[in-house]
Amino acid sequence: MQLAQSLQAIKPSYIREILSVANSADVISLAGGLPDGDHFPLALMEQSIQRLSSRAELFQYGSTAGYGPLLDYFRECYQLPKEQDALVCTGSQQGLDLIARVFLDAGDKVVMEAPSYLGALQVFGLAQASIESIQQRADGPDLQELEQCFANKTIKMFYAVPDFHNPTGVCWSLEVRQKVAQLCQQYNVALIEDAPYRELRFSGTELPLVSSFCPEHSIVLRSYSKIATPGIRLGLVSGPKAWVSALERVKQGADLHSSQPMQAVLLDLLQHDDFPNHLNNLRELYRKRCQYLANQLIEKLPNNCQFEQVEGGMFIWLQLPDCDVDSLAKQMLNVGVAVVPSSVFYQSTAGKQSAFRLNFTNACDSDLALAVERLAQVLEAVK
């Protein structure tokens, strides 16, 4: 059977190729966006999981919007105003997919910062949207470029990851947040604020969600993959009632609802007395690993390899001298280190930086040190 046209346009993912070998025991992987499995809060989930077998009602079909008590908790916890609703989804990735299906027609224009989250590029590509790339600066999108784009083109939505961007780790400043919100209102552009790393701030001060400055123009995507576990596949979409109601209709056709037993377990976890401790420990672990990796990079790599310090999230964006990053990433694999080359994060060749995305959350210090040592050797050999 012939593939749908929307799929024919999608290139096979190079990152899949890397990740398929990255899992082998003799490869140190800084490639995936994986939280540290040794620090999953399984002990805090244990009682809740054991109790499941006596809660048959959770194993019945449930409501598409989500498990009622969990939705009540979210409404309270995120202080959702009465004009807003929320929908539990199967990972925030499903939220993104639903948004594309509900709001995008082929050819609709979606703005993204470049580089961009690969999963979003895939979703918008499948929806046959036209992607407009805006350069990213150290404190967020280039505002002049963004305003020109909003003013001169009919933009449907701006997809953004303002807290510890994937892949760059950039966190938008307060000024940028306020200005973007104002532009979205002025030009009637919907902001899709994807915030899976927001709770992973390990230094600096928390900043308001961009959507808090333009709630009637925004949808927020939250994920429980990084603070609970990715395998439970739970996320949350919230936004204006009419928009969430449309998303719910499409979710019904997609999977009826997300797993109810897992939603009940997530609720117990989020309400567990020790959950705040778990979060603090996780932030501290990631802060130390990030610092360790940063120190290794400074110590072992030549000066023409640069990176900005990050205040949270999971990645360091290592900028390299102009080079063929795909071939460099393959050479890294040959010496037993998996990294993701910057090429996969760009929609077009314009403004492409040569860089590697380095994940610091799922490797111990000795592996981080060894990986940087090998990177230094590979860079030395290609000089």
Tell me the closest approach of the beta carbon of residue 68 to ligand PLP, in angstroms.
Answer: 21
CB of 23 to ligand PLP, least distance (A): 16
Nearer to ligand PLP, 258 or 296 (CB): 258
DSSP-derived secondary structure letter, 212: G
Q: Provide the minimum distance between the beta carbon of 198 and ligand PLP in the complex, in angstroms, as a whole number.
A: 10
CB of 10 to ligand PLP, least distance (A): 18
- What's the min distance (Å) between Cβ of 114 and ligand PLP? 14
The reply on whether position 317 binds ligand PLP by CB under 6 A is no
Q: Which residues, 6+ apart, have CB-to-CB distance to 134 below 8 Å?
A: 111, 112, 113, 114, 141, 142, 145, 146, 149
Q: Which residue is nearest to ligand PLP (CB)?
A: 91
Which residue, 161 or 191, is less far from ligand PLP as judged by CB? 161
Q: How far is the CB of 326 from ligand PLP (least distance, A)?
A: 21
Dihedral angle computed from the Cα positions of residues 249, 255, 256 and 258, in that order, rounded to the nearest 10 degrees: -110
Position 230 contacts ligand PLP (CB under 6 A):
yes
Amino acid type, 327:
S
- DSSP readout, 32-84? S----GGG--HHHHHHHHHHGGG-GGGGS---TT--HHHHHHHHHHTT--TTE
Q: Per rule CB under 6 A, is residue 66 in the interface with ligand PLP?
A: no
Identify the residue among 28, 29, 33, 200 touching ligand PLP (CB under 6 A). 33
Question: Cα(191)–Cα(238) distance, rounded to whole angstroms?
Answer: 12
* Other beta carbons less than 10 A from residue 114's beta carbon: 22
Peptide linkage before 162 cis (omega within 30 of 0): no
Contacts of 79 (CB under 8 A, 6+ apart): none
Peptide bond into 215 cis (omega under 30): no
Find the binding residues for ligand PLP in span 185-204 (CB under 6 A): 194, 196
DSSP per-residue letters across 356-379: EEEE-SSS-HHHHHHHHHHHHHHH
Q: Is residue 223 involved in binding ligand PLP (CB under 6 A)?
A: yes
**110 CB-contact burial (10 Å; exposed 0-12 / middle 13-18 / buried 19+):** buried
Encoded one letter per residue, x for contact with ligand PLP by CB under 6 A and - for no contact, window 320-349 reads ------------------------------
> Which span (20-28, 206-214, 222-230, 363-371) binds ligand PLP, by CB under 6 A?
222-230
32 binds ligand PLP (CB under 6 A): no
Of residues 296 and 362, the one with the C-beta less far from ligand PLP:
362
Determine, following the binding rule CB under 6 A, whether residue 166 of this chain makes contact with ligand PLP.
Answer: yes
| Per CB under 6 A, 113 contacts ligand PLP | no
Task: Kindly tell me which residue out of 235, 239, 312, 341 binds ligand PLP, with binding defined by CB under 6 A.
Answer: 235
Residue identified by tokens 């916890």 is 77
Q: Compute the least distance from the CB of residue 358 to ligand PLP, in Å.
A: 14
92 binds ligand PLP (CB under 6 A): yes
List residues binding ligand PLP (CB under 6 A): 33, 91-93, 117, 119, 161, 166, 194, 196, 223, 225, 230, 235
